[in-house]
A = this chain, B = another copy of it.
């Protein structure tokens, strides 16, 4: 599995992805799931992928090829981020169809070529935008109240996002929240793992170099973050209201 998320705040867009892929417990590998496409001061786009690795790699390869071959439509020719989301949806559906059971005799009953993407960024002259592209090729954007999108193993890390992230959350808090959401998932699910990639695109900057870092398993910051969060959470528990008042029957 995979876990990727993106947060749309007033400051800009935060992206975070893990790097573990697995096809069965003895086929565990590490691949980056964060892909960046930028032209300085014109457009800056980030793509996160989850699902079938062959499909996501084929989609990214096709995007690159369309750029190199200056195809009739490519990421540089798009006027809106939504157009790029449509384009990625179309490539993804085409790639999946090649290998699904009905058309590919090699596919077993458990085979699933589905892939899901998060696409975010900005094209000059338009506001920043964030989309989730479904395996069916259609897409949604984030909600105003809970301005984030998740793909892959999303449930473990959702409660902390629901509690913390709002449109006016500062970007450092949003990034740390993304890391805690990711770390909670890693701790509870063996199919999600580091290195973690984290990127912040500042709204209207359109700069080629967004704020970006990766955290390997043994990175001192990741260790510090985990320890600090564990300590803080334990302390938070000690401050919860005592239960005496709710017991219906005395012991």
- A residues sitting closer than 8 Å to B (CB atoms) are 155-160, 162-164, 172-173, 175-177, 180, 184-185, 187-189, 202, 207, 209, 211-215, 219, 221, 224-225, 228-230, 232-237, 239-243, 245-249, 251
Q: Is the CB of A243 within 8 A of B176?
A: yes
- Can you offer 28 A-B residue contacts whose CB atoms are under 8 A? A155-B156, A156-B159, A157-B159, A158-B188, A159-B160, A159-B184, A159-B187, A159-B188, A162-B184, A162-B188, A163-B184, A163-B230, A164-B233, A164-B237, A172-B243, A175-B243, A176-B237, A176-B243, A202-B251, A211-B247, A211-B251, A213-B243, A213-B247, A221-B246, A224-B241, A228-B240, A232-B235, A232-B236
The chain B residue with its CB closest to the CB of A175 is B243
Q: Is the CB of A236 within 8 A of B237?
A: no
Query: A163-B233, A228-B239, A228-B240 in contact; A248/B188 too (CB < 8 A)?
Result: no
Complex alpha-carbon distance, A193 and B156, angstroms: 18
Complex alpha-carbon distance, A242 and B170, angstroms: 13
For the complex formed, measure the closest distance between the CB of A210 and the CB atoms of chain B, giving whole angstroms. 8
Residues of B close to A184: CB separation below 8 A: 159, 162-163
Residues of B close to A237: CB separation below 8 A: 164, 173, 176-177, 180, 232
The residue from B159, B213, B239 contacting A232, defined by CB atoms under 8 A apart = B239
Q: Is the CB of A187 within 8 A of B175?
A: no
The residue from B158, B175, B215, B235 contacting A236, defined by CB atoms under 8 A apart = B235
Complex alpha-carbon distance, A184 and B248, angstroms: 24
Residues of B close to A211: CB separation below 8 A: 247, 249, 251
Complex alpha-carbon distance, A207 and B159, angstroms: 36
The chain B residue with its CB closest to the CB of A171 is B243
Residues of B close to A241: CB separation below 8 A: 221, 224-225, 228
For the complex formed, measure the closest distance between the CB of A233 and the CB atoms of chain B, giving whole angstroms. 5
Residues of B close to A212: CB separation below 8 A: 247-249
Interface contacts beyond A215-B246, A219-B246: sample of 18 additional A-B pairs, CB < 8 Å, sorted by A: A155-B155, A155-B156, A155-B188, A155-B189, A159-B159, A160-B233, A164-B234, A172-B242, A180-B237, A211-B249, A212-B248, A213-B247, A213-B248, A214-B248, A221-B241, A224-B241, A229-B236, A232-B237
